[in-house]
Amino acid sequence: MVRWAHVGLNCRDQETTERFYHDMFGFERSRVVTAGGTDIVFLRQGDVHLELFDAARESPESFGADGPQHPGMVRHLAFQVEDLDDFLAQVPGDLDVSLGPLAFDEFIPGWRTVWVKDPDGVIVEISQGYTDQPVG
């Protein structure tokens, strides 16, 4: 079973973007991960998640394996699956993998992700095992 996971957004200012989605739509912070020297902020509103990336230093030409990295652009779409290896084994045809699969056990045990390109070049993240941070 595949289910919607999140949209990754590039932000000029993560705090301002987080406040906007909180104040306008009721999103709450669900996790913060520090990777590559920068924080990635996860927000949740019901079953909808947003992933906020600090893109203030990126130029419009920046395009990483996990999607464009400049402000104002959606970085990637994301879906969660129960078992990433099983999902990848069942996909018909060849996937255009841009990054991974990678394991993020240092943040969440069992969290694994691969990024692929759709036919138009949009980056799609497929992962297993993501969970929110415990509250409190």
Can you give the CATH number for the domain in which 77 is found?
3.10.180.10
- Provide the pLDDT for residue 109: 94
Specify whether the CB–CB gap between 12 and 114 falls below 8 A. Answer: no
- Provide the pLDDT for residue 107: 92
* Residue ranges of the chain whose pLDDT lies below 50: none
The total number of structural domains that make up the chain: 1
* pTM for this model (two decimals): 0.63
- Provide the pLDDT for residue 120: 59
Residue 96: inside a domain, yes or no?
yes
The dihedrals phi and psi of 67, each to the nearest 5 degrees, come to 125, 175
Residue 133: inside a domain, yes or no?
no
Q: Measured between alpha carbons, how far is 56 from 127 in angstroms, rounded to an integer?
A: 26
Residue 100: inside a domain, yes or no?
yes
Residue 59: inside a domain, yes or no?
yes
- Provide the pLDDT for residue 58: 65
- Tell which phi-psi region holds residue 15, choosing left (phi > 0), alpha (psi between -120 and 50) or beta: alpha
Residue 135: inside a domain, yes or no?
no
- Provide the pLDDT for residue 84: 95
Domain that holds residue 72: 2-128
Residue 41: inside a domain, yes or no?
yes
> For residue 34, what are the contacts with CB-CB under 8 A and spacing of at least 6?
40
Each as own residue / partner, the long-range contacts of residues 12-19 (CB below 8 Å, 24 or more positions apart, any chain) are 12/55, 12/56, 12/71, 12/72, 13/56, 14/39, 14/41, 14/52, 14/53, 14/54, 17/52, 18/43, 18/52
Residue 61: inside a domain, yes or no?
yes
- Provide the pLDDT for residue 104: 94
Residue 53: inside a domain, yes or no?
yes
- Provide the pLDDT for residue 61: 67
